[in-house]
Chain A
Amino acid sequence: MIVISYALNKLLTAIARQHQMKERLTEEDMAGHALSDAERTALSAGDIGRLYELGANPYLIRRVFRRRFPI
């Protein structure tokens, strides 16, 4: 079963389409998005591994949190 979080992907798509890169997301970034507590925590921490587990698309994780990747 493929895990998809529409809320995460909707938010990350919006940020990616503005060609913004982030270390972590702020409350302002997340305002108005129907995110779970776990999703908010992972976005606030820039926790790329946890975001993947929670169903964020890895291409979007890569684009938004590029600086979090060692390569």
Chain B
Amino acid sequence: MAEIVAAALTAHAPLITGKPDVSRPEQRDRLYAGFHELRRRLAAARPDLLVMFVNDHLQNFAYDNLPAFCVGLAGSYEAPSPGGAGLMRLTPRTLRGHPEWAMALLEAGLAAGIDFAYSHDIESWDEMSVPLSFLLPEATIPVVTVYTNCAAPPLPLPRRCLEVGAFVGEFVRGRAAPPRVALIATGGLSHWVGTPETGRINPDWDHWALDHIARGDVAPLARLTWEEIERDGGNGGQEIRNWIALLGAVPGWKGEVLAYEPVAEWITGCATVWVHP
């Protein structure tokens, strides 16, 4: 049976690649070093498939159709899409999907009572493209995406994200192939985007979350309410759902925080975390 050979949590703020020059060099260098170390470890784990827990920023799902959880069945992804590329200053490139594996996940989820939506055509923005520009510089490994609504409330409960992640983890381990699977969740940590508090970062909340992840103590994160996250982590902090889903897939695993930087110029508390047994 397949095994989960690597797991990582990362920030995906578009300005990480879009405006590296405006940040303080020492902060940027420490965060980039965290991404580079994740890349080294991920490559050493030799995965055959990347499963990504990510969220839309209303480029795919607008207010006419808003799935809580959506499996990407795309055969390929433009990462980023040409429209999203400007802000991230990344050259669009094509990443392979794995529609057969994704379809099997979708069918198994629905059969088990996980009411995934699905999409054959995903526009990829920073949620995939920024972290993968570091972690997958050569588009050698296929990617499957699980999108969770983190940006257009009302949102699914963090507890439910943990359950969905647990299902994905069991599904991965229950398949014969591909044999070596890596999980990556992106987003967060605290940031306020487009609200009256835009630019605020809350390092105390970020450290609270990272400390729990370091201990493998995910239950307090899964108990968070939308209101608590909105207050302490901001509307951008709602993306912690992606991280919680990943942690649900690897019960008992702990996080090693490779970098954490509250980067004011990127209006985001940015982290890179290696998750291990």
A→B interface (CB under 8 Å): 2, 4, 6, 9-10, 13, 16-17, 19, 48-49, 52, 57-63, 69-71
- Report the separation of the CA atoms of residues A2 and B193 in the bound assembly, to the nearest whole angstrom: 17
B156 to chain A, nearest CB (A): 14
Q: Please give the residue numbers on chain B whose beta carbons come within 8 Å of chain A beta carbons, in ascending order.
A: 57-59, 62-64, 83, 86, 151-154, 193-196, 198-199, 235, 264-265, 267
Among A4, A16, A49, the residue within 8 A (CB) of B196 is A49
Q: How far is the CA of A25 from the CA of B30 in the complex (A)?
A: 41
Q: Is the CB of B199 within 8 A of A60?
A: no
Complex CA gap A9/B64 in Å reads 10
Selected from A2, A4, A13, the residue in CB contact (under 8 A) with B58 is A13
Task: Report B-chain residues with C-beta under 8 Å of the C-beta of A60.
Answer: 58, 194
Q: A9-B63, A10-B64, A57-B152 are in contact. Are A52 and B58 (CB under 8 A)?
A: no
| Contact (Cβ within 8 A) B58 A16 | yes
CB distance from B67 to the nearest CB of A (A): 16
Partner of B154, one of A2, A16, A59: A2
Indicate which residue in B86, B195, B264 contacts A58 across the interface (CB closer than 8 Å).
B195
Interface of A is mostly: helix
Q: How far is the CB of A7 from chain B (nearest CB, A)?
A: 10
CB atoms of B86 and A19 under 8 A apart: yes
- Which residues of A sit under 8 angstroms from B153, Cβ to Cβ? 2
> Which residues from A are CB-within-8-Å of B151?
57, 59
CB distance from A36 to the nearest CB of B (A): 16
A13 to B123 CA separation, bound complex (whole angstroms): 14
Most buried by B among A2, A57, A61: A57
A71 and B194 contacting across the interface, CB-CB below 8 Å: no
**B62 and A62 within 8 A (CB):** no
Give chain B residues whose Cβ lies under 8 Å from the Cβ of A2. Answer: 153-154
Closest to B151 in A: A59
User: Shortest distance in angstroms between A5's beta carbon and chain B's nearest beta carbon?
Assistant: 9
A57 CB to nearest B CB, Å: 6
- Give the CA-CA distance A52 to B230 in the complex, in Å: 14
User: Looking across the interface, which residue of chain A has its beta carbon closest to that of B83?
Assistant: A19
Q: Which of B58, B83, B86, B199 contacts A59 (CB 8 A)?
A: B58
Q: Report the Cα distance A2→B25, complex, angstroms.
A: 39
Cross-chain contact A17 with B152 (CB below 8 angstroms) = no
Can you list 13 A-B pairs with a CB-CB distance of less than 8 A?
A2-B153, A9-B62, A16-B58, A17-B83, A58-B195, A58-B235, A59-B152, A61-B194, A62-B193, A62-B194, A70-B199, A71-B264, A71-B267
Known contacts A58-B235, A62-B193, A62-B194; is-contact A71 B63 (Cβ 8 Å): no
